Amino acid sequence: MPFRLATAPAKPDRPNEDFAAVGTDAAVLLDGAGTPPGTESGCVHGVAWYSHTLGGLLLSALSSGDTLAGALASSIERVNRLHADTCDLKHSDTPSSTVVALRWDASELEYLVLADSSLVLDRAGTSPEVVTDDREAVVGAELRKPMDALPTGTPEHEQAVRDYVAALADHRNRPGEFWVANTDPGAADEAITGRVGLDEVAAVALLSDGATRLADRFGLATWRDTLDTLADAGPDALIARVREAENSDPQGQRWPRAKNHDDATVVYGHTPA
Ligand SMILES: [Zn+2]
């Protein structure tokens, strides 16, 4: 399956906390999350280190023959061991990450989705199938209202973002709430998993939430439009369209959001025509 990959940081002078990589029989996309810069997190490495390290280890673990959830659990444990001596892994704001993982053989595609990155399957003859774990959005719907009421970029909005992030932490990795990859390998068992015959899939897209805004927040594109953009113009063009929309609403009045721009990453694979 030929793949194309594009990524763009939210700001050119800030680390890109997304990570994506494609191997010969697997692909991963992760979107790191944590406290805003300048806030204590217990980890000296930071969010980008966490998502990039976990992503690299996960891509490697997917070749092991373990289940996708088993590969994610063992990768979380390996990252823990890499910084248990230097960092406070019990800190409530320790870096975390979404995970989308794909693995395929000659006949089947397996997938895993944890937290708010998305997998879109272009299944022949039907509407696109979007696999998204919306538990954080459900939990956050009430909590984000004060933040969404303020103009993006103002000190009041920045404080509301910090309050929102702090409030979400009380609901993270708790039964019945929402789950992300951080230090608990048990989060892997909370992921959405599935499998589909390779002959039923025309194309697949892995997207961080910075790249799905046109379809799931702004209402400017359907998922079909999104797949068509990827097929016709490629991942870079999709991200460029997201940036164009964001630049038309810099204060978030039309589309309230925590950040004007977010790291945006797309991996697009299609079966040869
Ligand atoms: Zn660390």
Q: Which helix (H) or strand (E) holds 145?
A: helix 145-148
Residue at token pair 């806030």: 39
Model pLDDT, residue 135: 93
Residue at token pair 């000296």: 44
Model pLDDT, residue 118: 97
End-to-end alpha carbon distance in the chain: 11
Lookup: tokens for 269: 């694979």
Cα of 46 vs centre of ligand 1, distance in Å, is 6
Model pLDDT, residue 149: 87
Cα of 172 vs centre of ligand 1, distance in Å, is 19
In CATH, what number is assigned to the domain containing residue 73? 3.60.40.10
Model pLDDT, residue 19: 98
pLDDT tens-place string over residues 2-32: 999 999 999 988 899 999 999 999 999 999 9
Report d(CA 78, CA 55) in Å as an integer.
11
Whether 85 and 41 have beta carbons less than 8 Å apart is answered as no
Name the amino acid, one letter, at 272. P
Report d(CA 36, CA 10) in Å as an integer.
13
Cα of 266 vs centre of ligand 1, distance in Å, is 26
Percent with pLDDT over 90 in the chain? 73
Cα of 98 vs centre of ligand 1, distance in Å, is 17
Contacts of 141 (CB under 8 A, 6+ apart): none
Comparing 5-14, 35-44, 178-187, the range with the smallest average pLDDT is: 35-44
Which structural domain, as residue segments, surrounds residue 178? 3-270
* Burial of 174: CB neighbours in 10 Å, binned 0-12, 13-18, 19+: exposed
pLDDT tens-place string over residues 61-71: 999 989 999 99
Lookup: tokens for 61: 């673990």
State whether residue 41 is helix, strand or coil: coil
Q: What domain count does the chain have? A: 1
User: What is residue 190's DSSP assignment?
Assistant: G
Assign 38 a pLDDT band (cuts: 50, 70, 90): low
Model pLDDT, residue 147: 87
Lookup: tokens for 224: 């079909």
pLDDT tens-place string over residues 223-251: 999 999 999 999 999 999 999 999 999 88
Residues around ion ligand 1, judged by CB within 5 A, are: 43, 45, 83, 87
pLDDT tens-place string over residues 193-220: 999 999 999 999 999 999 999 999 999 9
Model pLDDT, residue 272: 66
Model pLDDT, residue 41: 87
Mean pLDDT for 156-184 is: 90
